[in-house]
Structure formats: structure tokens, C-alpha cells
Amino acid sequence: MDKLLARTVSINPQRKIRKIVFFGGEKGGVGKSMSTSTAVEFCLEKELKFILAECDRVNPDTARIYRPNADVLFAYFSEDPNKRAKADPVVKAAVDSSLVLCNLPAQSYQAMKDWFIEDGLYELGQEYNIAFYHWYVSNGGYDSVQIFIKSLKELGSYMQHIFVRNWGLCDDWTHVEDHRDMKAARAEYNFPIIDLPKLPYAERNFIEDYNFSRKKDEDKLTFTSAVTHPELSLVSRKRIKNFLRDSFAQIESTGILSDEKP
């Protein structure tokens, strides 16, 4: 059983524990999809049972890349109450599969929060033993940190938050660690802080360009498949391998995904 079960939603460790992990960050370009991708590849490497919920209607690239190797569903969050049911398949997937990784698009927090609170998802969590997690990816910017603290205040009593420092976008996090609001939030909610390691630009751009030029899902590169790709140099492949190794170590340190054997 993992170390970070949601605090207020009553989880019975004697029953099967189901998990929904929201990979968010609210702002565009902070690394939500990259963080989701590392989690997907961690699960594939460990042969864990999971479903990837692609919630980005505009740019569902994560689903396209992993659909050949993983179970994928499409759902989305809407601030329109008449469309709120579009997110409901996420819960059914958790009940059926036990672990769902939700790749959230930018500016979806309000819709996700309304769905979770107003439709009483925390009560379903207690009924079906579902633990909820907000895996929040940050670029270290002021707005990014403040939105994380806002999420803690509004949802921290229902779901465990994980603060992810994207080292590809910020190489000094002292200003975040020392900020009084962040210190106060850490003292109150005791959330873990983990790192999304930096993937050098040359290797990242190669993978992005390669996937953009391939129309078929089965032809797209994952980080794992890039490790052996012949168009990359030996050193480039080693950099990607290092990135995966370090990313997996950070994911494993949370204990959230490590006990979902089929």
C-alpha cells in the first residue's frame, strides 16, 4: 500500500484500492504531458495495470503516442454543467481497472473541481474505495505556485497533492522553497515534492519533431523506444535513458503507482 493515500476520503486498506491521478498544472507548457508520459512509461516498464485517460481534446498527443501499447479512454472536463458527464468515464475506468492516469489540458482546473465537488466525487471515493491525487507540474513561476496553493486550499482535504518541479523549465527552486505561502502550505498539508528531470533540448526536440512527422500512432516514438533509435547518437540515447531512470526513481519515491500489479 502506498504512503500517500488521500487524507479525508476514507480509504479502507483491507479492500481493493482504486486510484485516479490527475496530472495538472493549469498553465500551458509546464510539462503536464511529459510528466504523464513518464508515469505511463513507468507503468509499462513495471507491467502495472492502468488506463490512460486523455482529457486534452485540442492536442491529444499523449493518447496517440501510447495508444498502441496502453489502454486509452477519451474524456474531458467542461465548465458547462450540461457537459459535465463527459468526464464520468474516468470513474468507471477506476472501478474497472483500479488505476487511471488523467492527462489534463491547460485551464481545466475549475471544470475538474466543479465536477469533483458539486457532483460529490469524494463520496463515490468513499463508496468505491477510490483515492484521488493531484500530480501538479510547475515551472516555478509565481502564477504556477499560487494556483497550486489554491488547489490545496480547495481540494487538499479530498485528494493528496504532489508538487512536481520541472527542472527543464527552472534550474533554481530556492525562491519557491523559501516563499512564505509555500512554507505555510507545506506545513499544513504535508505534500511531497518530487522532480521532473531535465531532458536536454536536442533529444526532446528530436522526439517531438519525429512524432510530428509520423501520422500513424504505431510509428510514434516513446521515451523508451527512443533509447534504441538508430537515428540518435549513442550519447543521446544514454541521455534519454538517464532521464527515464531519474524520472522513474522520482515516481517510485511517492509509492502511488508501485503496487498496481494486474
- Mean per-residue pLDDT for 81-104? 95
Which residues constitute the domain of residue 112?
A: 18-199+247-254
Report if residue 97 sits inside a domain: yes
Report if residue 134 sits inside a domain: yes
Instruction: Answer yes or no: is pLDDT of 3 > 50.
Output: no
Cβ(118)–Cβ(2) under 8 Å?
no
Which of the four pLDDT bands, split at 50, 70 and 90, describes residue 258?
confident
Instruction: Answer yes or no: is pLDDT of 26 > 60.
Output: yes
Report if residue 219 sits inside a domain: no
Percent of all residues in the chain with a pLDDT value above 70, rounded to a whole number: 95
Instruction: Answer yes or no: is pLDDT of 40 > 50.
Output: yes
CA–CA separation, 233 and 225 (whole Å): 14
pLDDT value at position 9?
Answer: 66
Percent of all residues in the chain with a pLDDT value above 90, rounded to a whole number: 89
Report if residue 74 sits inside a domain: yes
Instruction: Answer yes or no: is pLDDT of 132 > 90.
Output: yes
Instruction: Answer yes or no: is pLDDT of 260 > 80.
Output: no
Instruction: Answer yes or no: is pLDDT of 16 > 90.
Output: no
CA–CA separation, 155 and 151 (whole Å): 6
pLDDT value at position 14?
Answer: 74
Please state the domain count of the chain: 1
* pLDDT, averaged across the chain: 93
Report if residue 209 sits inside a domain: no
* pLDDT tens column, 196-215: 999 999 999 999 999 999 98
| Reported pTM | 0.93
Report if residue 104 sits inside a domain: yes
Report if residue 229 sits inside a domain: no
Q: Domain holding 40: CATH number?
A: 3.40.50.300
Report if residue 52 sits inside a domain: yes
DSSP 212: H
pLDDT value at position 41?
Answer: 98
Closest CA to 21 of 53, 43, 44, 64: 53
* pLDDT tens column, 78-92: 999 999 999 999 999
Instruction: Answer yes or no: is pLDDT of 262 > 90.
Output: no
Q: Residue 193: helix, strand or coil by DSSP?
A: strand
